[in-house]
Amino acid sequence: MAYAIGKAEPLMVEALNEKGESLAEIAKSKFDFKPQAIIEKLNLRQPIYQQTAAYGHFGKDNLPWEKIIKLN
């Protein structure tokens, strides 16, 4: 994603599958990429410093951005 200051919608969304095929249109149709929507979806107003202080922010099952959601 690429954003511009003062714009809610991203200027660019890029997503590729393991074959290098673009998934950008699917991503744009299934997710709201506005900053406020991301903040709400990932509950970012509730800091979780203890869980993310050691060994980074990724690869931990209990973090909201690590949850796998099924797209229909």
Confidence of residue 61 (pLDDT cuts 50, 70, 90): confident
The answer to whether position 54 is within a domain reads: yes
Please state the rounded mean pLDDT for residues 44-52: 82
The neighbouring-strand residues paired with 12 are: 2
The answer to whether position 4 is within a domain reads: no
pLDDT at 60 over 90: no
Q: Which domain holds residue 55?
A: 32-66
Torsion of CA 32, 25, 14, 58, to 10 degrees: 50
- Residue of higher predicted confidence among 60 and 35: 35
Task: Count up the domains in the chain and report the number.
Answer: 1
The answer to whether position 19 is within a domain reads: no
pLDDT of the residue at 10: 94
Single pTM value for the model? 0.71
pLDDT of the residue at 36: 94
The answer to whether position 21 is within a domain reads: no
- Burial class for 48, CB neighbours closer than 10 Å (0-12, 13-18, 19+): middle
pLDDT at 72 over 80: no
